[in-house]
Amino acid sequence: MDAIVSGGAEATVVRLALLIALIAVVEAGLGVLGRRLSAALGEELILDLRTAVFDHVQRMPVAFFTRTRTGALVSRLNNDVIGAQRAFSNTLSTVVGNLVTLVLTLAVMLTLSWQITLLALALLPVFVIPARRMGRRMAGMQREAAALNAAMGTRMTERFSAPGATLVKLFGSPEEESEQFAVRARRVRDIGVRTATAQTVFITALTLVSALALALVYGVGGRLALGGTLEPGAVVALALLLTRLYAPLTSLAGARVEVMSALVSFERVFEILDLEPLIQDTPDARELPPGPVSVEFDDVRFGYPSADKVSLASLEEVATLDTRGGDVVLHGISFRAEPGQTVALVGSSGAGKSTIAGLLPRLYDVDSGAVRVGGADVRELTAASLRATVGMVTQDGHLFHDTVRANLLLARPEATGPELWDALRRARLDTLVRALPDGLDTVVGSGATGSRAVSASA
């Protein structure tokens, strides 16, 4: 560059041009490689997190689902997992490519003038400190938006189910429901506008700092050139390199803000994964042998667990969870039923009949006493073998949106067609199923009343 100014040294021009070209090629190559790597890591992260959360939630006790808002739970599995992915897919390649560019550019600048390079680095805190503050601010807005999206998801899940829609039409007001939903939607919109505005102001401020730094280099470098300390060509080269230095700094500062926002999603996902299931197989749990078994309740006392043991405040949309357990439902219940014996439990609503039925397949654990199946405490048996032996027809049947066949196979995946028809015949529902448009292959859902009875009874 100085050779151009003084009118000679063609080799210097060539070396400088090759160096700039090399930096550009390395940056482009690393950008492509980083994007490919970050995309692979991001998609793998989504796969691992989704399967881990789904598997973990399925192992949670029934008490967890009775308290949790379904929409909030689904939001963790979808929105928050994708939000966590952004920390990898959108920022990893940016960080890697920009760090390499930063190091190479600094090395070249130091060879030209260490004084101006240090002067340029003196402005580094202007990038770091605002990025930290902006990251915290963005994280707060992200938490608020995530909570609102979860609330809207819950409202849609409840109102768009057949029972929920029926209840709203019979006793509620669709207009009022829409307005309540719109209130939350508008709040999410406002947060989105504030977020975009804050990001724009942040990036604009950093760009302004870069422009001021460029003016500073020309000013200080020009004085050094006039004094003979620095050659004019070096000043021009430093100015060009400074733009290459501050561009990745601006990008890295923005990446930090994005990562802080993505960490909110990580927190919400791991809140679920850190919640330990109350009911789990013990390490030495044994299989329950197939065949007829006796059932025994031995001085059983039971009260439903407190909210803080089975749920999260954020999933229930409350500030803190209640630490008080439910009232004791069963007080010293004892009885025994032998294989082939029919036992009827009679009592008023809320007396504990359904609770007793739920303790048998170990949907809950007793507070004291023991429930025994085949002479073994249910807490000493594997859940799979216990539930393969104990059949239970709930008061409110539920169908998954699938065929009748698929719903029936949920209990016995290996069952054949003749076995399914035999089960329907014994439940006196074979005639009903044969009358359906496609028989066992008729697609039904939770709103299908007749088909609900099919799966519940069979």
408/382 same-domain check: no
* pLDDT of 84 above 80: no
- Whether 206 maps to a domain, the answer reads yes
- For the purposes of burial, counting CB atoms within 10 Å of the CB of 330, is it exposed (0-12), middle (13-18) or buried (19 or more)? buried
Any idea what the CATH number is for the domain that residue 68 is in? Answer: 1.20.1560.10
Give mean pLDDT, residues 330-340: 90
Give mean pLDDT, residues 379-398: 82
- Whether 395 maps to a domain, the answer reads no
- Whether 288 maps to a domain, the answer reads no
Residue 413 has phi, psi (to 5 degrees) of -60, -25
Nearest one of 388, 458, 390 to 426, comparing CA atoms: 458
381/255 same-domain check: no
353/406 same-domain check: no
Instruction: Quickly list H helices, 90-173.
Output: 92-112, 114-121, 124-159, 162-171
- Between 268 and 93, whose confidence is greater? 268
Give mean pLDDT, residues 229-241: 77
CB atoms within 10 A of CB 293: 19
Q: Give the pLDDT score at 299.
A: 93
Domain boundary among 389, 416, 446: 389
Binned at pLDDT 50, 70 and 90, residue 338 comes out as very high
Which residues fall within 8 angstroms of residue 97, CB to CB, at 6 or more apart? Answer: 27, 30, 31, 34, 248
* pLDDT of 131 above 80: no
- Whether 287 maps to a domain, the answer reads no
Q: Give the pLDDT score at 295.
A: 92
Give me the number of domains the chain comprises: 3
H/E segment holding residue 402: strand 402-403
- Whether 280 maps to a domain, the answer reads no
Query: Please, what is the end-to-end C-alpha distance for the chain in angstroms?
Result: 86
Give mean pLDDT, residues 75-92: 75
Any idea what the CATH number is for the domain that residue 302 is in? Answer: 3.40.50.300
* pLDDT of 300 above 90: yes
Separation between Cα atoms, residue 114 and residue 225, nearest integer Å: 14
118/263 same-domain check: yes
334/429 same-domain check: no
424/346 same-domain check: no
Give mean pLDDT, residues 338-361: 87
Domain boundary among 356, 389, 422: 389
Give the domain range for residue 453.
402-457
Q: Give the pLDDT score at 446.
A: 59
Give mean pLDDT, residues 150-176: 78
Q: Which of 220-229, 291-300, 404-413 has the lowest mean pLDDT?
A: 220-229
335/215 same-domain check: no
41/150 same-domain check: yes
Give mean pLDDT, residues 387-413: 80
* pLDDT of 24 above 90: no
- Whether 424 maps to a domain, the answer reads yes
46/189 same-domain check: yes
Give mean pLDDT, residues 300-318: 78
360/448 same-domain check: no
Binned at pLDDT 50, 70 and 90, residue 449 comes out as very low
Mean pLDDT, the chain, rounded, equals 80
30/148 same-domain check: yes
439/326 same-domain check: no
- Whether 97 maps to a domain, the answer reads yes
Domain boundary among 389, 410, 443: 389
Percent of all residues in the chain with a pLDDT value above 70, rounded to a whole number: 88
Report the DSSP pairing between strands 295-303 and 328-337. Answer: antiparallel
Q: Position of tokens 């069952």?
A: 415
- Whether 220 maps to a domain, the answer reads yes
* pLDDT of 377 above 90: yes
Sheet architecture: strand order including 295-303: 328-337, 295-303, 368-373, 376-377
Binned at pLDDT 50, 70 and 90, residue 368 comes out as very high
Percent of all residues in the chain with a pLDDT value above 90, rounded to a whole number: 8
